[in-house]
Amino acid sequence: MDKSINIELRPTNLEDLETLFKFQLDKDANYLAAFTAKDPTDKTAYIKKHSKLLLDQTITQKTIYLDHKIVGSVTKFIINSNAEITYWIDKNYWNKGIATKALKLFLSLENTRPIFGRVAYNNLGSKKVLEYCNFIKIGTENGFSNARQKTIKEFIYRLN
């Protein structure tokens, strides 16, 4: 990870959603994320869903800035009584250590533990991010991937 990367996390706001929506339109990113919206091109559904999530006090959403430019997001949410994290980096900024640095910073601010992360079995970059942030692989599940239109294996990670 490049120590010189200077990122900042800010609370996500309505204005950020336009940029974040554009990031998830990338076909390669959608394929790797796997467990995405049924129709990632439906901007109205995206904005409606994420606007509502901004009001949910159980969700911590941060927008990642690099040199005052939005490059991604990281979020903690609750599902089945478990805290989970998710993150998304603009494809133009992959393989630069930004996701790892952002997640480490996020985890220093968000102290809910245990916290879980899930990743498609072949998303090597995301697996590395979780492992660099001290998440331990604890299991696997099969789930339906909207992006791939089939059931795939998902690795489950946990940070205590």
Per-residue pLDDT tens digits for 51-77: 999 999 999 999 999 999 999 999 999
- pTM of the complete model: 0.93
Per-residue pLDDT tens digits for 16-58: 999 999 999 999 999 999 999 999 999 999 999 999 999 999 9
Positive or negative, the Cα torsion across 118, 65, 42, 61?
Answer: positive
Q: How confident is the model at residue 157 (pLDDT cuts 50, 70, 90)?
A: very high
Determine the 3-state secondary structure of 62 from DSSP.
strand
Per-residue pLDDT tens digits for 69-103: 999 999 999 999 999 999 999 999 999 999 999 99
- 7-159 CATH pick, 3.90.1300.10, 3.40.630.30, 3.50.50.60, 3.10.105.10: 3.40.630.30
| Proportion of the chain above pLDDT 70, given as a percent | 98
Give the model's pLDDT for residue 4.
Answer: 75
Dihedrals φ, ψ of 116, to 5°?
Answer: -115, 155
* DSSP letter for each residue of 72-140: EEEEEEEETTEEEEEEEE-GGGTTSSHHHHHHHHHHHH---SSEEEEEETT-HHHHHHHHHTT-EEEEE
Strand-pair category, 136-145 with 150-159: antiparallel
Give the model's pLDDT for residue 84.
Answer: 98
Please report, as a single letter, which amino acid is at residue 141: E
